[in-house]
Structure 1
Amino acid sequence: MTDVHPLAHPLSVAARPELTGGRRIGVLLSHGFTGQPASMKPWGEYLAEQGYAVEVPRLPGHGTSWQDANKTTWADWYGEVSRTFDKLVAENDAVVACGLSMGGALVLRLAADHPDRLAGVVVVNPAVGTRRFDVKLLPVLKHLVPSFPGIANDIKKPGVEEHGYAKTPLRAAHSMMQGFAALVPDLPRITAPLLYFRSTVDHVVDDLSQPLITSKVSSREITERSLGESYHVATIDNDAPQIFEESAAFIAKVTAP
C-alpha cells in the first residue's frame, strides 16, 4: 500500500462536557469518494473547540493512491464509519453524523440503519445517485480501464487544495454506485433531524440527489441551506464558516436534553 498522505491522518478529539452543559456529545464527520480527512478537519476542529468529541476517520483506500481505492468497496468504507460511530456511541450521551459527498451517503446509511441511535444528520452536497450516462457502463468499463480523470478540487476559493486523487478508480466507483442503489430504498427509515447544505454550483454531484433525499426521508425536521459561494468541496470553500456555525447550532439543538 502507498504511504498515507501527511494530511490524511484521522482526527480524534475527546469531548469537553464542561463546554456542552455537562453532557458528552459526539460528532462523526466523513469525507467523500477519492477525498481524505483534510477536507473535513477544519470543520472537525471548529466543532472540537465547542466541546464536542470529534472523529474524522480515513476511509479505507483513501489518502494513499487511487490504486488502493480500487481494492476497496462500499462495505469497507461503511465498515470504518460504523466502527467510528460505535466508538462515539459508547463514549458519549448523544451522537450526530456529518458527511460530504459520498460521506453524506455513508452517514445517511447510518441514519437508516440506526434510527434510534443518531440525534441528527448533517450533509454537504451528498450523493445517492447520478444522471451521468457513463455510470451505467461501469460494470463493463471497470474491466476495461482502471480509472477516469479525477473529480477532486471542485473548489471556488483560490489556492485551496483538497488533496484528493487525480484519477477516479472505476472498480471503487462501481461499488459506490451499488451502495447508493441499496441506500435509496431505505431512505424512508431515516427519522433523525436533517440539516442539508447544497452548493448552487456543483461540478461533481448533479441535481438528482437533493430531491431524491428530501422527498424520501421521514425526518421530522429537514432544514435546507443554499451555499452560493462554494463548489462541491464546500467544507473548505468560501461558505465553510456558514457550514461550521450552522452545524454547531444544529448539533446543540438536536442533542439538548
Structure 2
Amino acid sequence: MQALITEAQGLADKDPAARLFGTPEPFFLEGWGEHKDTVALLIHGFTGSPSEFRRLGYYLNDLGYTVKAILLPGHGTSPEDMIRTGFRDWWSCVKDEFAVLVRKGYERVIPIGHSMGGLLSLKLAMEEQVPGVVTLATPIHLGSRSLMFAAWVQFFVKYISKRRPAGWENMVNESLAYDRTPVPCVVHFRKLLFNVKKKLELVNVPLFIAQGELDRAALPASAPYIYNRVSSQKKEMKVYPNSSHGILLDSDREEVYQDISMFIAQLG
C-alpha cells in the first residue's frame, strides 16, 4: 500500500491532474526552494481523515512548503477501530509526529488543525515551541446538545448515525468522515475540548482562526471565544460567509487556502 501511495504522490507532483483526492491515507509532500524547511503539520478532525486536507496540502506544496498530513489513531478505517481509541492516543500521535519533524531538522513546524484537529493544534502550541498555529472550524461551543449526554449514553448505545445536511454529499465523499460516531469517543473528545478551553491563555504564538458562518457543528461563537482568551499578541480571526463546518472543502475554500498561506508567509 505504501509503495502505491508513494508512486501516486510522485505522479501528482509531475501532473497536477493526477493528484489524489478522496483517499484517507496520511501524506507527505517535500517542499522546495526557500520554504522547504517550513512544514505545515495538518491535523484532521474528529471521525475525519487527511483526505479533508489534500487540496490545501497541494496548494501549500505548490508554494514550496513541506506538508505532513497525519492520520490520527482509529481514523481513516472504520468506527469499530475508532471506538478503541481516545484523546490520549490522538494527542500522543500529534506529539510523536511533531517530534519526528523536529528531529529531522525542519526549522519551522506549523500546526494547522481542522475541528478537533484545531484543538490538538492549540494544545501543541501550549506545550511545544511552534512559530504559529492555524485553527479551522475549531469547536468550543457545540451545535449538538445530544453530545452533552454521551457520558451516560455510552453505556447503552455504542454508535450514533450522523445527519448529513443537504448539499454536503460532495464534501462527505471527499473528506471520508465516518457515517457513524462511536459514542465513547465523544466522551474523550469532550475531555480534550474542556482541557484546551481552560488553558487557552497558554497560547502566545501568532494565531489565525478561520470559521464558517454556516457551521452548525462548531458554532460560530467558538471563534471569538478562542480569539479573546489566547495570549497571542498577533492574532487574526476571519469568518467565511458561505462555509459550513467543512470549511476546507466548501464554497470559500480557495479564499481559506490563500489566507492560510499569507499567514504562514508572515511568520518568516
Structure-1-length-normalised TM-score: 0.89
Q: 1:60·1:80 contact (CA, 8 Å) conserved in 2? A: yes
Contact 1:195–1:250 (CA<8 Å) still a contact in 2?
Answer: yes
Are the equivalent residues in 1 in contact too, given 2:223–2:237 (CA < 8 A)?
no
What is the match of residue 176 of structure 1?
Answer: 189
Q: Which runs of 4+ in 1 moved over 4 A?
A: 153-158
Which piece of structure 1 moves more, 226-235 or 84-93?
Answer: 84-93
2:40 aligned with 1:27, yes or no?
Answer: yes
- Within-5 A mapping of 1:35-184: 35-90=48-103, 91-114=105-128, 117-130=129-142, 132-150=144-162, 159-160=170-171, 161=173, 162-184=175-197
Identity %: 26
Q: How far 1:207 moved relative to its partner?
A: 3.9
In structure 2, what residue type is equivalent to 1:136? M
> Which residue is 1:223 aligned to?
236
CA–CA distance in structure 2, aligned partners of residues 157 and 145 of structure 1:
26
**Map of 1:13 onto structure 2:** 29
Residue 243 of structure 1 is aligned with which of 225, 238, 256?
A: 256
Q: CA deviation at 1:87?
A: 2.0
Read off the aligned partner of 1:13 and give its amino acid letter.
L
Does the Cα contact within 8 Å between 1:100 and 1:123 map onto a contact in 2? Answer: yes
Do structure 1's residue 209 and structure 2's residue 222 form an aligned pair? yes
Contact 2:213 2:220 in 1 (8 A): no
Q: CA deviation at 1:88?
A: 2.3
> What is aligned with 1:253?
266
Residues 211-235 of structure 1 show CA distances to partners (whole Å, capped at 9, x for unaligned) of 3211211011111111112211110
Matched position secondary structure for 1:234: coil
Amino acid of the structure 2 residue aligned with 1:141:
V
Partner Cα separation in structure 1 for residue 180 and residue 158 of structure 2: 9
- What is the letter of the counterpart of residue 15 of structure 1? G
Aligned length: 244
- 1:113–1:142 Cα change, 3 Å: same
Write the distance in 2 (CA, Å) between the matches of 1:207 and 1:111: 22
Cα displacement string for residues 171-219 of structure 1 (whole angstroms, at most 9, x for unaligned residues): 1110010111111121101011111111110121124422321121101
> What's the CA shift for 1:145?
0.1
Q: Which has the higher contact order (CA 8 A, sep 6+)?
A: 1
SS in 1 for 2:232: coil
TM-score, length-scaled by structure 2: 0.85
Are the aligned partners of 1:156 and 1:231 in contact in 2 as well (CA < 8 Å)? no
Shift of the 74–19 alpha-carbon distance from structure 1 to 2, 3 Å rule, reads same
